[in-house]
Structure formats: C-alpha cells, structure tokens
Amino acid sequence: MICYICKENELKLLKHMDITPLLSNNALSMRRSQIRDLLSVATRPEIISFAGGFPNPQTFPLDDLKTIMQDVLDQEGSAALQYGSTDGVMSLRQEISKLYKREEGLDVPVKNIMITTASQQALDLVSRVFINPGDVIVCGLPSYLGALQAFWSYQGQPYGLRHNLGLDEACNVLCATGKKPKFLYSIPDFQNPSGETMTLEERQYAVEVAQKYDLLIVEDTPYKNIRFTGESVPSMYSMDPERVVMLGTFSKTFVPGFRLGWVVAPDNVIDRLIVAKQSADLCTPAFSQLVAARYLASGAYDENLKKTCALYHRKKDLMIKAFEEYMPEGVKWTNPDGGLFLFLKLPKQYDTRELFDIAIKENVAFVIGEAFHCDGSGKHTMRLNFSFATDEKIVEGVKRLANAIRQLYAKHA
Amino acid sequence: MICYICKENELKLLKHMDITPLLSNNALSMRRSQIRDLLSVATRPEIISFAGGFPNPQTFPLDDLKTIMQDVLDQEGSAALQYGSTDGVMSLRQEISKLYKREEGLDVPVKNIMITTASQQALDLVSRVFINPGDVIVCGLPSYLGALQAFWSYQGQPYGLRHNLGLDEACNVLCATGKKPKFLYSIPDFQNPSGETMTLEERQYAVEVAQKYDLLIVEDTPYKNIRFTGESVPSMYSMDPERVVMLGTFSKTFVPGFRLGWVVAPDNVIDRLIVAKQSADLCTPAFSQLVAARYLASGAYDENLKKTCALYHRKKDLMIKAFEEYMPEGVKWTNPDGGLFLFLKLPKQYDTRELFDIAIKENVAFVIGEAFHCDGSGKHTMRLNFSFATDEKIVEGVKRLANAIRQLYAKHA
C-alpha cells in the first residue's frame, strides 16, 4: 500500500494509536463525575459513607420479588425475555398512569408516558432532543449533578440560579443577550442536594415565566413521593402539560437496580424521545418492566412506600439530632420534609474539598457541594445522605465528620 | 409580568406550545426506524413476520433462569437491586473475558471490558464519543440500521461501501477531499443484513487500511457465535487491539430481554466510554448482570448456544428449501454460514417497498432492503429473519411471499 501522507511505498504501521484527535466535541465537553472520582477512595470498609444516593436495602421487597419473578417467567417468560417496544411495556405504563391518578388526582394518558432506563436516561434523551452546543439551560444553584453531566455531554451551558424569585429577571437578561434558555430544569420536591421544595406559588410563577418566554420546563420528580411531613404540592406538569416534560423513577420508591424510570411529555415531545431512545438502547428490559407492573398492581408498592418513608423520616431525624449534639459552631444544615439528603454549610471561608481529605482520614465520606454548582461556587457546602447507613453508623459518622470539621477549623485558626 | 417581546403589561399565555423551534440539530438529524413504522402495520396475528431480528423463544433457558434468579435474590439480593458501577458487574466482565479465551483463545483484560445496555447503547456511546456533526463513518452497503441511526443521531455521515476491496481507494478519496473518516464500522461475521462474513485476508486488509489512514475500527460482533458451518475467523480486534473497538452482546446467544452487551476497547477509549455512560444511564441493571454471570459460570450458556445454533441452522435450511420450491424466477438469496438473516434480491427494476404493501395483504412481512442502505440504494432488496418463526410458518410465509412477488411481477409485466 502507498501511504497517502508520505506517498511512499512503505507503510509505517501506527502501533500505538492516539485517539485524542479523534474525540468528538461532545466527549471533550463531558465532565467526569467528581462524586465518582472522589469516592473511589471511599470504598474501604472502615469508611462510613454518606456520599451516595443509595436507598436502604431494607426497603427492597425481596420476598415479593421472588414470587413475582417466578410468576413472570411462568406466565409470560417468552415476552419478558424478548425484545420489547421502545416506548415501554403497556402494563407498566398503565400502572404509572394509575399511580398519578391515585397519588395526585392527575390524568396522565398512557400514550404520553415513555419508559426509560431510569431517569438518568430520560435526562440524556431530553438533552439530546433539545440541546444544541452552547444552548443555555436554567437550573438551580445547586442542582443535581447527573443532570448537569447530561447537559454538558451535549455541550449545553447550565446557568445556575440561586433563588427561584430571580427567574424572570434572569430569563429577561439571557434573552436580551441572545442566550434565550432552551429549558428550565427543576427538581421541585426535596431538591437534590438542597432538600428545598418549591411552594405552589413558586411553581405557578415558574410556569408563568416559562409561558412568558416560551420555554420548556423539565420537571424532575425522583423524590416527590418520599415525603415525611407536610402536604404534596401540585406538579408544574399539572399546571401546563403542553409545556412541561416530567421525569419519574422507581429508583427511590422501589429498587434502583432495575433502572426503571419514565418521561411524561406532550405528544410531539414523546414522539421525538421515542426516536432518540431507539438509537440509544432500542428498549428498556421487558422483564423488569413486567415485574414492576405486577408489583404495582398488587398494592404492595403503596404499602412498602409508606414503610420506606417512615424509615427515612426516622433516619433523617436521627442524623439531625446527631448534628445538634456533635457539630461545632458555624455549621448549618437543612431539615427537609422528604427526600434522601441533608445539605450542610460551613462558614464561607472553608472549603469542603479540604475537609474531604481530613474526613477520609477519619473514615467518613460525603459529597463536596461544589460538584452540584455549575458555576464552581458552593465550596463551603456538602451533601450527606441519610437513607443508606445504619442508625449506629449515622451517629458514629456524624461524630467523625464533626471531628474532621473541628480539625479544619483548627488548621485555619 | 411585563412581556419581554411586546413590552406590554399583559402577558399573553402561549397555551399550545410549538416545540419545533426548540429541537436540537441532533433531533432533526435523527431518522425514525423505517422498520418500526412499516411494522406497526404488521402486528395483526394473521401476519407471518420475517421482519424482526428476534431470537426464538424456544432458546430462552427459562428453567435455569428461575433457579438462578432465586439464588441471586437469596445470596446477593441487596447488591443485585442496588445501584451498580458504571463499567459493570465484575463477575460478568470476568465471565466475558473467559468466554473470549475459551472461544477464540483471545486474552481480553477485564479492565478493557465495559458492560452496556445491549450493543445498541455501545453503538450510541461510541458515536457520542467520536462523532462530530458532519463526520464521515465508512460502513457497508447494506449495513445494520441501528448503527446508521446512532451515527445519524449525532449528525454523522455514513459513507456506504459496496465491496470491502474498495476500502483503500475510498479512504484515499475521502481523505483527499477533507472528509477523513472517523472510523470504519464493520459487522465481519454474518453481516446484518447481507449475511456475508469477511475472510481472514479481508480483515487483515481492513486493519492495514485503518493503520495507513490512522482510523479507528468499530467491530460489531452480535452474530459471531451463531455459526452453523465453517471455521470461526479471527477478529480484527485480535490483529490490532489498540485500534479496534469491539462490541458484543448476549441478545442473540442468551436472551435479548436483559439488554446486556459490552464493549472491548483500549484503556483510553474505555475511559471515555465510561464517562459517556455515566450521563447516559449511570449503570446497566446489576440484577440481570449477576444472573448472566452465574449462567455463564454454570456452563449452561455454552450448551444452550450449541442447541441454538443447531435450531437456527435447521430453520435457515428450511427457509432456503422453501425458496427453492416456491420462489419465482429472478429472485436471488444468500446462504450464510450463520446469523439470523437471509438477504434477498429481486431483479433490479422492482421495488420491495411496493412489494411490502402486497405482502401485507398476503399476511407476510419482511424489512425492505433500502432501510439498510445509507445512500438510499438497495430498493430491490429485502431482509428475512429465519430464527423466530415456527417451521410451519416459515414454509407458509415463503409461499405467501412468493405469491406476492408473482403479483408484483404481473403488475409490471
């Protein structure tokens, strides 16, 4: 062969390939999860980790699943193990529609529900269908890291908003400077990581702003039904179903390991998402969808969810009690009505990345708050999960963390 | 609120939103699967469908799965139903590495294997990591539709090659005109849909061309182990593991419903793919990975695969016998050494899209060949699946199709 570069007869074989020049701009724009990298050091068994967003395995309905799995294999094994349709198994979509009716009195047509490989895929598909390189997405400061990663992976530019009330002004400025946002991304219930829940008025305001500037809203609701106290607030989807794409998941209310989530969206959006999902993974496993559908239909889902909420409520109270007992001066924390996380703030001059190294030596782990701030702020904040650890580890872990914070204070005294 | 467009006090609520102006260029570049749309008419029970790429449910190891699922829930239920790591469950990656050793004598380090939500996700992630809008990907004419969809969804431009031998020349011309391909996409074993298998020499040639122009090769191997006759040919990966990204799947050799596939790639590529998968779906279900790992370790996988190959071999022969008996003059077909498909050609003046409408009236379905040709050619071709239908339906379906072809001939006589 004649080399097309040097025009010589001899072909120099390029044994060790350098792929860097071949990477797409998407790949270069992707950000590796800081959680993942920081936590790779936190897997030693002696470390108490408040870092992940793991549900408590106590809440996994193992016995129910054993029975249901046998039934699915016995009664519909061939369909369960075959390719499924891209929009998802009909019986599961029907159960999700019933769930909305039961829990929120909301009528969601089955045709507007698409099953996804958990809500991370929904975030990915929504990003793929709407984000062009450079497009602005308005989100919270802080906001869910997985959503930020999805936006970045399509070269989107998340614009972080510290307060909901600034939304109109921010959209006005962005539009005036030619950076009209593509959509608003919001986790209105027990936000990850802040734990905040938008009031009814805040939701109405956000919908009005979206209408004013003709923007889409992406409403992410993974924690909505993990509520301990207070009343459920109507979704933004219920206020303008033509404008809101609502994401749901069974990861926190059932099991995360099946990777089952869904999107509710207007006809024209669902149609685009189905085409996007075709090339993303063809379909979500039919087997786990059929198992979930039967589990929901049995009524056990609702019962188990009540127990899950009671367990997490108790664990949240326990962690806060431990904070009150052990934390040094200046540490502030949230006390949310639901969800899986507490959000902590140190006095502004401290950096939780520095704290992280001390904490790991003390055998306790968390997620640095900076990871959730698309503008690099929030260096004095951190997220702690209370759903996964045992009661003993919650208390012991808080003691260790309080000790680490004292060391950080002393270092800078 | 003051409208930022009309500057008036009154806000005109935009009730019915037009999302079209919001769509990304990716979304506009995506192509809906023609298979999907054409086949939405082919779901009536009286239709014999040779259209899908469905494995035969007879091959699904239901009894083994019942036992293994109980064992997984009993012995590692908490881990199976929890979030898993992005690169996949270690035991499954180890089993895949052993499989390569056992089947091909190939050493594939576990660190270079990442589990994907079936091979469609692998195609998606590879496209995401390497394709910029306008990038050229060299593939076959015809080639696998799901791969073309993945390329299009990132605004890639597949360049179809009719003969492997034209590869050097094509790359030369593409490079000279500033359209250097990003990678070569190839299904070397029992290609979908052509059924062709690349010889050892053809593979060596492709690798040499890739080395000459410094291109990546994406080697897709879903059918490699569905071989009826002849000897397995070494993979291109084995010839230059630094340059080849190899995709595998359990969809045809185990069950498609678990959506389990994998990528084998050099360190630097695997690393990028893991970051991309983080934002695509965080992880593939741990439960199905643990079940698959135990199934492989038990030895039942190898045994079952032999039976699967024997069944498909028989069905392939049966369909070809029916062709010989019933097809009118001028119809040509492949006789591959493996895989799931036969590829048929009518005389050049006929269009299988027209045939499709007649065939549906005759209650038989197939996939039009044009769907597999990225340049819109192949209008006289079609793909037939022989793995799914019962023996009776294979014979009856071929009779109906032959009858439909005769009607097409008569219409144009």
Q: Taking CB atoms and an 8 Å cutoff, what residues of chain A touch B213?
A: 4
- Cross-chain Cβ contact A27/B172 below 8 Å: no
User: Complex ipTM, two decimals?
Assistant: 0.93
Confidence of residue B44 (pLDDT cuts 50, 70, 90): confident
Q: For chain B, give the mean pLDDT.
A: 93
Neighbours of B71 (CB within 10 A): 14
Q: pLDDT tens, B289-311?
A: 999 999 999 999 999 999 999 99
Q: Taking CB atoms and an 8 Å cutoff, what residues of chain B touch A304?
A: none
Q: Taking CB atoms and an 8 Å cutoff, what residues of chain B touch A53?
A: 83
pLDDT for the residue numbered B151: 96
Q: Which of B303, B250, B312 is nearest to B95 (CA)?
A: B250
pLDDT for the residue numbered A236: 97
Flag the least confident range among A33-37, A233-237, B332-336.
A33-37
Scanning A47-144, the segments in alpha helix (DSSP H) are: 62-81, 90-104, 118-130
The pTM is what?
Answer: 0.94
Q: Which of B172, B157, B156, B184 is nearest to B244 (CA)?
A: B184
With a cut of 60, say whether residue A292 has pLDDT above it: yes
Helices B286-297/B90-104 angle, 10° precision: 40
Q: Considering only alpha carbons, which residue of chain A is nearest residue B135?
A: A24
- Structure-token match 């502004």, residue found: A348
- Candidates A22, A245, A291: best to mutate against B (most CBs of B within 10 A) is A22
Nearest-Cα distance to chain A for B329, in Å, is 35
Element containing residue A394 per DSSP (H, E): helix A391-411
What CA–CA distance (Å, rounded) separates A273 from B136?
Answer: 25
pLDDT for the residue numbered A3: 38
Q: What domains does chain A contain, in order, with CATH numbers?
A: 27-60+302-411 (3.90.1150.10), 75-299 (3.40.640.10)
Q: Extract the runs of DSSP E, i.e. beta strands, from A230-337.
A: 244-249, 260-264, 332-333
pLDDT for the residue numbered B2: 44
Q: For chain A, give the mean pLDDT.
A: 93
pLDDT for the residue numbered B13: 43
Find residue A48's DSSP bridge partners: A364
pLDDT for the residue numbered A39: 67
What CA–CA distance (Å, rounded) separates A14 from A11?
Answer: 9
With a cut of 70, say whether residue B34 has pLDDT above it: no
The average pLDDT across A8-25 equals 64
Q: Taking CB atoms and an 8 Å cutoff, what residues of chain B touch A82?
A: 54-55, 57, 60, 255-257
- Tell me how far apart the terminal alpha carbons of chain B are, to the nearest angstrom: 70
pLDDT for the residue numbered B18: 77
What CA–CA distance (Å, rounded) separates B326 from B317?
Answer: 14
What CA–CA distance (Å, rounded) separates A28 from A50?
Answer: 30
With a cut of 60, say whether residue B6 has pLDDT above it: no
- Cross-chain Cβ contact A211/B13 below 8 Å: yes
pLDDT for the residue numbered B52: 87
Percent of chain A with pLDDT over 90: 87
Which residue from A25, A213, A266 is facing B4, i.e. has the nearest CB?
A: A213
The average pLDDT across A326-354 equals 97
What CA–CA distance (Å, rounded) separates B21 from B298?
Answer: 54
Q: Which of B153, B121, B154 is nearest to B32 (CA)?
A: B153
The average pLDDT across A251-261 equals 96
The average pLDDT across B232-240 equals 96
pLDDT for the residue numbered B5: 40
Task: Show the tokens assigned to B132.
Answer: 């910029």
Confidence of residue B32 (pLDDT cuts 50, 70, 90): confident
Task: Show the tokens assigned to B352.
Answer: 């299988």
Q: Taking CB atoms and an 8 Å cutoff, what residues of chain A touch B13?
A: 208, 211
Q: Is A325 left (phi over 0), alpha (psi -120 to 50) or beta?
A: alpha
Residues 6+ apart with CB under 8 A from A94: A110, A293
The average pLDDT across B270-283 equals 93
The average pLDDT across B25-54 equals 81
Q: pLDDT tens, A61-103?
A: 999 999 999 999 999 999 999 999 999 999 999 999 999 999 9
Higher pLDDT, A14 or A237: A237
Q: pLDDT tens, B315-369?
A: 999 999 999 999 999 999 999 999 999 999 999 999 999 999 999 999 999 999 9
- Cross-chain Cβ contact B57/A66 below 8 Å: no
A51 near A193, Cβ under 8 Å? no
